[in-house]
Amino acid sequence: MAGKSVESVAKAVRVYQYPLREKLAKYKDELSKGVWGYWELGAWKPLAISARRRARLRKETLLAGEDWPYDPARKEMKTKRKGHKHDRIAAQKRANTVELMQKMPQMLADYRRRKWEKKMNEEDAKASKK
């Protein structure tokens, strides 16, 4: 008998020590609107619950072992490295130069052929005019 009464008192203390259910039910609409506030009809409206009270309610909820669905989704971390851009792309430029230098004899031959063809076409055009 005494064990049951102690257990019921402990349960009552635990329930009323952290009245999360009542607080969450009370501020459910307000918490779902965002962390800082929301736009309504073109005007910014701050939340009716202060950030301090919201943070305390969040902490109590998480300490009680329940989930907190009202946090916004986290953004992806930036992957941009610090430093100078020319230091980062120098190796790519060197690799590209090596590749282009291997193609250089063919590129020169193509250039010479195009130049020769242009010259021949111009000479043919002059000869046909005369």
For 18-39, how does the pLDDT look when each residue is reduced to its tens digit (9 = 90+)?
Answer: 577 777 778 777 887 777 878 8
Residue type, 3: G
pLDDT of residue 95: 94
The pLDDT tens digits for 33-81 are: 777 878 889 898 888 888 888 888 889 888 888 888 888 888 888 887 7
Q: Is the pLDDT of residue 100 over 80?
A: yes
Share of the chain above pLDDT 70, in %: 85
Confidence of residue 2 (pLDDT cuts 50, 70, 90): low
pLDDT of residue 37: 79
Confidence of residue 9 (pLDDT cuts 50, 70, 90): low
φ, ψ of residue 45 in degrees (nearest 5):
-120, 120
The structural domains of the chain, with segments of one domain joined by +, span: 7-63, 84-130
pLDDT of residue 32: 79
Residue type, 68: W
DSSP for the chain? -HHHHHHHHHHHHHHHHS-HHHHHHHHHHHHHT-SSEEEETTEEEE-SS-HHHHHHHHHHHHHTT---TTSPPPPPPP-PPPS-HHHHHHHHHHHHHHHHHHHHHHHHHHHHHHHHHHHHHHHHHHHHH-
Q: Is the pLDDT of residue 94 over 60?
A: yes
The dihedral through the CA atoms of 45, 49, 55, 58 has a sign that is negative
